Amino acid sequence: MSQRIEQRFADLAQAGRKGLIPFISAGDPLPEATVAIMHALVAAGADLIELGVPYSDPVADGPTIQHSSERAIARGVGIAQILAWVSEFRLTDSTTPVVLMGYLNPIEIYGHARFADDASAAGVDGVLIVDVPVEEAETVTLLREKGVREIFLVAPTTTDRRLAAIRARAEGFIYYVSFAGITGASQLDPVAVRARVEHIKQGGSIPVAVGFGVRDAASAVQVAESADAVVIGSALVAKLAEANDRGAALAAAHAFLAPIRAALDQAVRR
């Protein structure tokens, strides 16, 4: 059973560093470049990779990730293909945690038991299913049994009663949604985020990653003041979408992430 997520957050804490979690849509911009992009992101300083499983009706996503998903779907990208990419990634990277992020229906159709078996075998460390709140977590309980971590969202609207239920169930880390809205919107309020993250951390030791609205080095540094890790999705996906070929995509991934890594590390040293 993999401990990659726990190990990674423990290492970060010991080194006094903040985690950097890029999100990419699996299969976009070029299906054949997905594994190489994952490696490029690790080389540029990613601590954990969130791999988006494209879905036709992503109600929590803004236009950038919607369009990215549509492009991947048009190329026939599905769970079987994505798990094959994770296996390929694992051939040369056995330490960087990979979390799949998506919606329930593709898993429902793939089959819960089959998905738990195959995701675990491929080297997936965690799964964050946007439309599975803690009330419905029993539906994916087979994942937990196979050692794949259930990552849950906490939102600005989450009540303390719900937060307690989520904490009791959450594994790996908690993903705090920085504002009530869709991915890629620019509503980040660092002061409010800080207050909420500190509140979430009061109740336990599970690390807190913050996503939605983090788009560059400056916003990453602001969020990392309180969070254990920052998630960057839409801004990276938009950069990758501009790439016409594999080389350009790898260069874009590195060029986007490396300065954010540097800024995060510099801010911690200050």
Partner 1 sequence: MRYASANTNEQATNMSNRISVSDFHAYPDAHGRFADYGGIFMPETLMPPLEELTAAYLAMREDPAFIAEFERDLKHYVGRPSPIYHAERLSRRIGGAQILLKREDLNHTGAHKINNTIGQALVARRMGKRRIIAETGAGQHGVATATVCARFGLDCIVYMGAVDIERQKINVYRMKLLGAKVVPVVSGSKTLKDALNEAMRDWVTNVADTFYIIGTVAGPHPYPMMVRDFNAVVGREARAQMLEEYGRLPDVLTACVGGGSNAIGLFHAFLNDREVAMVGAEAAGEGIASGRHAASLSAGRRGVLHGNRTYVICDDNGQITETHSISAGLDYPGVGPEHALLKDSGRARYVGITDDEALAAFHELARTEGILAALESSHAVAQAMKLARELPKDQLILCNLSGRGDKDVHTIAAREGIEL
Residues classed as catalytic: 50, 61
Closest CA to 23 of 57, 59, 56, 62: 62
Judge whether 159 and 182 are in contact, CB under 8 Å.
no
Q: Is 60 a residue that touches partner 1 (CB under 8 A)? A: yes
Residues 103-122 that bind partner 1 (CB under 8 A): 103-110
Nearer to partner 1, 75 or 246 (CB): 75
**Segment interacting with partner 1 (CB under 8 A) among 65-73, 91-99, 190-198, 227-235:** 65-73
- Identity of the residue, 112 or 239, whose beta carbon is nearer to partner 1 in the bound complex: 112
Told to check if 152 binds partner 1 by CB under 8 A, we report yes
Largest CA distance in the chain: 49
Phi-psi bin for 188: left (phi > 0), alpha (psi -120 to 50), beta? Answer: beta
The owner of tokens 């049994």 is 145
Listed ranges 8-16, 69-77, 217-225, 251-259: which one lies at the site for partner 1 (CB under 8 A) = 69-77
Q: Which of 65, 98, 132, 142 binds partner 1 (CB under 8 A)?
A: 132
- Binding-site residue total for partner 1 (CB under 8 A)? 45
Minimum Å distance from CB 30 to partner 1? 18
- 161: helix, coil or strand? helix
Residue numbers 165-194 binding partner 1 by CB under 8 A: 166, 177, 180-182, 185
Q: Nearer Cβ to partner 1, position 185 or 258?
A: 185
Cis peptide before 259 (omega within 30 of 0): no
- Residue 133 found at the interface with partner 1 (CB under 8 A): yes
The answer to whether the CB of 229 falls within 8 A of the CB of 173 is yes
Strands in the chain per DSSP E: 19-25, 49-52, 98-102, 126-129, 149-150, 152-154, 174-177, 208-211, 229-232
Q: How far is CA 250 from CA 30, 44, 49, 94, 97, in A?
A: 11, 10, 15, 20, 20
CB of 163 to partner 1, least distance (A): 10
Of positions 93, 117, 131, 265, contacts partner 1 by CB under 8 A: 131
Beta-carbon contacts of 37 under 8 Å, excluding residues fewer than 6 positions away, are: 24, 240, 249, 250, 253
**Residue 203 engages partner 1 in binding (rule: CB under 8 A):** no
- Give the residues lining the site for partner 1 (CB under 8 A): 54-60, 62-63, 66, 70, 73, 76-79, 103-110, 130-133, 135-136, 152-159, 162, 166, 177, 180-182, 185
